[in-house]
Amino acid sequence: MRIDDYKQGNLEKVVEAGEKAKASQERLNAVVSFCDIEEQIKDYKHTQSDLLFQTPVALKDNINTKGTRTTASSRILDNYIPVYNATIVDKLKAAGAVFVAKTSMDELGMGGTNLNAYTGKVNNPWDLQRISGGSSGGSAALVAEGVVPLAIGSDTGDSVRKPAAYCGVVGLKPTYGRISRYGIIPYASSLDHVGLFTTTIKDAATALEVLAGRDDNDMTTSYKPVEKYSSLLNSDLQGKRIGVIKNVMDAIEDKTIQETFKQLLDKLESRGAIIEDVVFDTDLMNALLPTYYVISNAEATANHSNLDGIRFGVREDGDDLTSIMINSRTKGFSSEVRKRFVIGSYSLFTENQDKIFRKAQKVRRRIVDALKEKLASYDVLLASAAGSIAPYPDESYGEKLSATYLVAENHMLLGNFSGYPSITVPNAIVDGMPVAVNLLAKPFEETLMLSIAKAIEEECGLEGYCREVSE
């Protein structure tokens, strides 16, 4: 399933993608709302020179689409219909994309399993009993199912890259500021990134060309010119320096994943890559998750203080203004989200800010400084994207404070703390399920990162692979 499969001048294939999305709903439960495809193609005037000519695209349901319900998979936003498009929606449309569906997510992006969406669990296309990963699990599932060749997600901790690993597709999170977040319902503003899912590195590069660039509506976006990522791909690894994050690999208990990773390293070395172990301070790696919890939940608490049933959102009855807000927020949010708001609020109390929130910010700075130091000697850092295949819901690591969970399952937070670009690439099929590796590069070095990812794709032989193809 590739973008080029749709560039044959036949809009019927786009309509078929919409029908396929609807047909997959009972199986995957990956969609919150379906888009009006007929209305979009009625006056379609694009040409084959457009990068996304006649390409069906799925959007995570935290991306504002004018006139189309956008809930962020939360009950409190069940009636929210945006009056404007997110910048990336306009960019995708200008490049020729046709929107098929708004996809399920962990509520407000707060989760890594896609189990707490208002519409229920998203099923993994490879095994319906397993999780898809989150929070962008709906988008990952539709690409893995072969419904669309491109889906958009957002990544605050690893919310594009982890579901990409569990569902066996490519998941790209570029440099912070590379893609506009204007019109994206936020989670944590200093950590949020727009990301994307495809089945090939070339398609990921093409999509990044469309999405990247300065946006005056988002003052965090960079003025740095957008490169022609797809035409600059070069999978020559001769002399490329790849650092393997040893902390992560040592924390993984699954011997099969360890073995498939070692086999990949041997292949990369045979192509001329220089592979070396990189060891981070153990305390800093163990601090990734608690630091993330403090910062992300504090920012989320501030970002979503306006979801009170008064200014907008679903309103519950009450005897006075205070009771209306309490009832609306109590019924409007899941217990998981309410828990995170409690954590965020506690860390923002005046008496707690220095000992909790500001301390977490200082730890984040130390983590980023350590990452910058390690990356200075390498083109990319590499590790397994997850410590296991996609788990069943009751086998999910949850929040156990084991080395496997703290390090192996949360190391991709390095890319959000730093804002550095990162990509997940399928590596192998283990016990009928996909496993993947993750690359992390220096800021704005997407071209180099994508090129090394392309070499990995060539060695693993999973380009364009999806569940539909495997049957």
Q: Is 60 an annotated catalytic residue?
A: yes
Q: Say which residues have a Cβ less than 8 Å from residue 394's Cβ, sequence separation at least 6.
A: none
Say which CATH topology domain 3-238+422-470 has.
Amidase signature (AS) enzymes (3.90.1300)
Residue with tokens 């001769």: 238
pLDDT under 70: residue ranges of the chain? 396-403, 466-471
Which position among 132, 135, 334, 388 bears the catalytic label?
A: 135
According to DSSP, residue 405 is labeled I
The two structure tokens encoding residue 59: 């959007």
Strand order in the sheet with 241-245: 31-34, 98-103, 56-60, 150-155, 193-198, 170-173, 422-430, 433-441, 380-384, 241-245, 274-278
Task: State yes or no: cis peptide before 135, omega within 30 of 0.
Answer: yes
Q: What is the pLDDT of residues 243-265, one digit of tens each?
A: 999 999 999 999 999 999 999 99
What is the per-residue pLDDT for 312? 82
Task: Give the integer Cα–Cα distance in Å for 363 and 369.
Answer: 10
What pLDDT was estimated at residue 18? 97
Distance (Å) of CA 347 to CA 256, 290, 344, 365, 414: 40, 12, 5, 18, 22
Q: What is the pLDDT of residues 256-294, one digit of tens each?
A: 999 999 999 999 999 999 999 999 999 999 999 999 999
**What is the gyration radius of the CA atoms in the chain, in angstroms?**
21
How far apart CA 60 and CA 359 sit, in angstroms, is 33
Structural element, H or E, at residue 13: helix 12-28
List phi, psi (to 5°) of 127. Answer: -155, 110
Closest among 146, 199, 192 to 173, alpha carbons compared = 192
Q: How far is CA 419 from the centre of its chain?
A: 13
Domain range summary for the chain, segments of one domain joined by +: 3-238+422-470
pLDDT value at position 406? 87
pLDDT of residue 470: 45
Cα–Cα distances (Å) from 354 to 342, 348, 357, 368, in that order, read 17, 9, 6, 20
Give residue 400's pLDDT. 54
pLDDT tens-digit series, residues 110-156:
999 999 999 999 999 999 999 999 999 999 999 999 999 999 999 99
Choice among 7, 60, 102, 121 that is catalytic? 60
Active site residue 91: no
pLDDT of residue 465: 75
Examine the residue annotation and report whether 400 is marked as an active-site residue of this protein: no
pLDDT of residue 409: 94
Distances (CA, A) of 374 to 281, 292, 403: 11, 21, 21
Res 9: pLDDT: 73
**CA–CA distance, 248 with 406 (Å, rounded to integer):** 9
Paired tokens of 468:
């539909």
- What is the reported pLDDT for 101? 98
Contact (Cβ atoms closer than 8 angstroms) between residue 407 and residue 288 = yes
Catalytic pick among 154, 159, 296, 396: 159
- Percent helix, strand, coil in the chain, to 5, is 40, 15, 45
Long-range pairs of 223-228 with CB within 8 A, sequence gap ≥ 24: 224/178, 224/444, 227/446, 227/447
- What is the spatial distance between Cα 413 and Cα 469, in angstroms, rounded to a whole number? 32
Q: What is the rounded distance in angstroms from the CA atom of residue 28 to the CA atom of residue 123? A: 5
Q: For residue 427, what are its two tokens? A: 């590596």
